[in-house]
Structure 1
Amino acid sequence: TLLSPKYKSKFNRLAKIHRSLTTSYERNLWIALPNLQRLQKRLGIPDAVAEDALRIYTQTVKKKLTMGRSIDTLLSASIFAALRVHGIPRTAEEITKIAQIPKKKVIKSYRLILMEVLPKLGMKVQHFSADRYVDKFNEELKLSMQSRNIAVKLIEKARDSGFNSAGKDPKGIAAASIYIASKICSENRTQKEISQLAKVTEVTLRMRVKDLQKYANIVD
């Protein structure tokens, strides 16, 4: 079907603008910006984070790091990096699910950004301890503040008793503490429910539960 005069005029204007973007850098940003806005809206991230994600993404394009990487992969990695710069504990899985990009590709691009881009921009990511994830998961599971406080104290007690969390996913530790705390407070949540939310396996959750029970001296 033929375009109506109104839409034909609009299409021609857009085509003219697109032709005027002579460099691949400009064309890339022309495509990337609306995609970033779409991801920002769907992820519900603050404007300040989106602005830094754009700064990060723009730098990856300037440094010609786009070879073999899709726009949405780099955008997702840039958003993940910006969230960590701002200290907002969103998981890579949350981003990749909405962006519909394989997690492996986004993490690979994120590591590249970590080494090649953030130092250039004077940005540093914050590394999240399990405590930070406790607040996030507790809120999403609609558990009480009492349950949250017990979960945090469990982690603190385990650390004080010699529990070494190095090399262990903080999400798994947070999930385990919440599972135990929810049982103590009679706000029971299943292992399946918590592991799915935390994006860890039920096997990992059970292992971390055993760790916390051992070091925090809790009898099941």
Structure 2
Amino acid sequence: MASRHIYASGFDENKRLPINLPCPECNGDLEREERQTYCIECGLVVREYNIDHGPDWYDGQGQESNKHVGSPLTPARHDKGLSSEIGERRDGMGNRLPGRTRRRFSRLRRYHSQARQPTKRSRNTLRGLVDVRRITSALELPTSVRDRAASLFRESQSRGLLPGRSVHSFTAGSVYAACRCFDLPRTLEEVESVARCDRSALRNAYRVMNVELGLEVTPPSPGAFIPKLASRFDVSDSTRQQAITLARRLESDGKAVGKQPVGVAAACLYEAGQRTGERLLQKELASEAAVSTPTIRSRRNEIGELAD
């Protein structure tokens, strides 16, 4: 908020009270400060000014700052969001540019692109961050996960982990690592389905990042995958809650340690459907969870032993 006095009148005001009038309550002197006109004797607010003509002293994150530089910075863009773009066919007023001007601006765009990416490293950064935004958008991940994945990719590049490896494997690995850091139920198969690398390259990139960067990740919980599977098959709330209870009992007894979490989740959902009378096919559950039907049967047998 601006600290200077507001103008006595504005272009969009009507019946503005002049400052030289006395207070209508006690005939005291009026004073204008920021967006209010008030009496210095009785404190009566005579009029509130709804528009602040001063600059917005905010940094884009809700904090007051003396810097006014536009939108907040984001690590998901190679230039942190500070670059400018050159138009193609129309000017700022919407008028169509003549042919000579379009050719001149085409050359300027080429020079501008070359100046922004002068080295192979900067071009790899641009390619990687564009791929990070594409993967997170395809998986419908929140902005916080996108920014975390972009930061992990930048850190991997600064540590020298990319030479000899695919850029796309590290972009997919960064997204998967960010999901693990935020405890989001995303599997390697889901990330691989939208990535531009195979599963072995994705797994290798994530393993290298986990070791070299020291990621603070915890083993995924089987219960985190149950709501997603339940929504795909439109099961009832009672079946979903019973499946989550079974998964928690398996975790507390240590029977889920070393097992594939999504396979345990599919088995718990299948067993819960059997107990509540909802018909779920092991083949469909295995296809949705990207596991085999023997995996679901093995985990179900463990659940049966737990119940006994």
| Cα distance in 1 for residues equivalent to 2:264 and 2:280 | 16
Task: Indicate whether 1:66 and 2:66 are aligned.
Answer: no
Q: 2:246: which partner in 1?
A: 154
Q: Deviations over 1:81-114 (max 9, x none)?
A: 0011111111110010111421111011001111
Q: 1:19: which partner in 2?
A: 114
| Cα distance in 2 for residues equivalent to 1:12 and 1:32 | 26
Deviation at residue 62 of structure 1 after TM alignment: 1.1
Max radius of gyration: which structure? Answer: 2
Task: Indicate whether 1:167 and 2:258 are aligned.
Answer: yes
**Amino acid of the structure 2 residue aligned with 1:17:** H
Give the share of equivalent positions with the same residue, in percent: 25
- Please state whether the residue corresponding to 1:22 is helix, strand or coil: coil
- Over 3 Å counting, the alpha-carbon distance change for 1:8 and 1:45 in structure 2 is farther
Task: Indicate whether 1:145 and 2:234 are aligned.
Answer: no
| Cα distance in 1 for residues equivalent to 2:165 and 2:173 | 11
Q: 2:19: which partner in 1?
A: none
Deviation at residue 14 of structure 1 after TM alignment: 4.3
| Cα distance in 1 for residues equivalent to 2:210 and 2:238 | 37
Task: Indicate whether 1:176 and 2:267 are aligned.
Answer: yes
- Please state whether the residue corresponding to 2:234 is helix, strand or coil: coil
Gap regions ≥5 residues in structure 2: 1-88, 90-98
Deviation at residue 152 of structure 1 after TM alignment: 2.1
Gap regions ≥5 residues in structure 1: none
Are the aligned partners of 1:154 and 1:216 in contact in 2 as well (CA < 8 Å)? no
- Please state whether the residue corresponding to 1:128 is helix, strand or coil: coil
Q: 1:102: which partner in 2?
A: 198
| Cα distance in 1 for residues equivalent to 2:182 and 2:240 | 23
Task: Indicate whether 1:57 and 2:57 are aligned.
Answer: no
Are the aligned partners of 2:268 and 2:303 in contact in 1 as well (CA < 8 Å)? yes
- Please state whether the residue corresponding to 1:66 is helix, strand or coil: coil
| Cα distance in 2 for residues equivalent to 1:77 and 1:125 | 13
- Over 3 Å counting, the alpha-carbon distance change for 1:34 and 1:146 in structure 2 is same
- Over 3 Å counting, the alpha-carbon distance change for 1:25 and 1:134 in structure 2 is same
| Cα distance in 2 for residues equivalent to 1:9 and 1:190 | 63
Task: Name the Cα RMSD after superposition.
Answer: 2.2
| Cα distance in 2 for residues equivalent to 1:37 and 1:157 | 38
| Cα distance in 2 for residues equivalent to 1:104 and 1:153 | 34
Deviation at residue 9 of structure 1 after TM alignment: 5.6
Q: 2:299: which partner in 1?
A: 208
- Over 3 Å counting, the alpha-carbon distance change for 1:81 and 1:187 in structure 2 is same
- Over 3 Å counting, the alpha-carbon distance change for 1:204 and 1:7 in structure 2 is farther
| Cα distance in 2 for residues equivalent to 1:35 and 1:213 | 44
